[in-house]
């Protein structure tokens, strides 16, 4: 499975965003706003929509697009 190459970490008080170097459109967001003692969680965004919360990392589709 193709893997993302995360770059450009944008860290703010409540979340950290990472874009994929391959420009596949996925954004990995780590949320820190669970409150004191809360456990951070990961969200996966694409096209301005939150498509997944937690779970496995979505495949990086940029490589497949290049191959096609
Ligand atoms: Zn990617």
Q: What is the rounded distance in angstroms from the CA atom of residue 57 to the CA atom of residue 42?
A: 10
Q: What is the rounded distance in angstroms from the CA atom of residue 49 to the CA atom of residue 26?
A: 10
Give the distance (Å) from ligand 1 centre to CA of residue 37. 31
Give the distance (Å) from ligand 1 centre to CA of residue 25. 7
Give the distance (Å) from ligand 1 centre to CA of residue 39. 25
pLDDT, tens only, 15-46: 999 999 998 999 999 999 877 788 999 999 99
Give the distance (Å) from ligand 1 centre to CA of residue 29. 13
Residue with tokens 């990472």: 18
Residue 68: helix, strand or coil by DSSP?
coil
pTM above the 0.75 mark?
Answer: yes
- Spatial CA neighbour of 67 closest among 27, 21, 22, 7: 22
Residue with tokens 């954004």: 27
């Amino acid at each position: 499975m193709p893997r993302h190459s995360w770059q450009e970490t944008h860290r703010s008080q409540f979340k950290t965003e990472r874009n994929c170097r391959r420009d596949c459109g996925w954004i990995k967001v780590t949320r820190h706003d669970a409150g004191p003692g809360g456990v951070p969680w990961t969200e996966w965004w694409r096209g301005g929509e939150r498509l997944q919360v937690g779970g496995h990392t979505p495949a990086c589709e940029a490589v497949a697009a290049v191959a096609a």
